[in-house]
Copies of this chain bind each other. A is one copy, B any other.
């Protein structure tokens, strides 16, 4: 199983890539690296000359407002390239940090740029990836802007379940999630104390268990309904 297999699988579900396109992606120079948990891969202000393909593990993007109040902007899983935008935006405007031990593969921007020039279908697929990113950001604005805490949490968990399912990392009712309650709070615009209380309510309602970094759902449909979750914004349906 090559480093790029999760990426290729994802690109193929939504964009038509021929064998030459795939071969060209597989020929990309990649520097593998293992990164410990809670370590920055790139930071705000950096001018990276490469992008980072997440091969295994979880990472997140985040920004820090006044007085160190951190806001997580997105969660990333295998097959994602969380800093692909740095290909065209020179300076990082946020951090990318591992949530657990991760295997990543660094791809030089030069290589990506020539790949895009030679294989327009790949360029389009990568562009599309960044557009899906943006769609997820939009949904997160709604989440923190307009939903009360329990719905916010339900929405986040629903999104993660759906995305993990798409890459085969989640059964219907259970998945690994290496986040602390503090991380959840930073993703939801809440305090860790409040996240803890909301988790207790959802558990009491039989909607969600979260222990030892494992999420268990007994009734995922009900959770999605609570979170007002509609997977349209993930744009993963090949027909659309």
Pair B141/A141 contact, Cβ less than 8 Å:
yes
User: If A144-B144, A147-B66 touch, does A138 touch B135 (CB 8 Å cutoff)?
Assistant: no
Q: Does A146 contact B (CB under 8 A)?
A: yes
Pair B131/A89 contact, Cβ less than 8 Å:
yes
Q: Return the chain B residue nearest A86 by Cβ.
A: B131
A123→B87 CA distance, assembly (Å): 13
Pair A63/B139 contact, Cβ less than 8 Å:
yes
Pair B228/A93 contact, Cβ less than 8 Å:
no
Residues of B with C-beta under 8 A to A93: 135, 138-139, 232-233, 235
Q: How far is the CB of A189 from chain B (nearest CB, A)?
A: 3
Contact of A151 among B66, B70, B130 (CB under 8 A): B66
Pair B85/A131 contact, Cβ less than 8 Å:
yes
A141→B151 CA distance, assembly (Å): 17
Pair A88/B240 contact, Cβ less than 8 Å:
no
- Identify whether the interface residues of A are mostly helix, strand, loop, or mixed: helix
Q: Does A202 contact B (CB under 8 A)?
A: no
What per-residue 1/0 map shows which CB atoms of A225-240 lie under 8 Å from chain B?
Answer: 0001000110100001
Taking A71-B146, A73-B138, A145-B188 as known contacts, 16 extra A-B pairs with beta carbons closer than 8 A to each other, sorted by chain A number, are A47-B240, A63-B141, A63-B142, A65-B147, A71-B141, A73-B141, A85-B131, A88-B131, A89-B235, A90-B235, A91-B232, A93-B139, A94-B138, A116-B120, A127-B127, A144-B144
A-B contact pairs, 23 of them (CB 8 A): A47-B240, A63-B139, A63-B141, A63-B142, A65-B142, A65-B228, A66-B151, A71-B141, A71-B142, A71-B145, A85-B135, A88-B124, A89-B128, A90-B235, A91-B232, A93-B138, A93-B233, A130-B130, A133-B134, A137-B138, A144-B144, A144-B145, A145-B188
A interface residue numbers (CB < 8 A to B): 47, 61, 63, 65-66, 69-71, 73, 85, 88-91, 93-94, 116-117, 120, 123-124, 127-128, 130-135, 137-142, 144-147, 151, 188-189, 228, 232-233, 235, 240
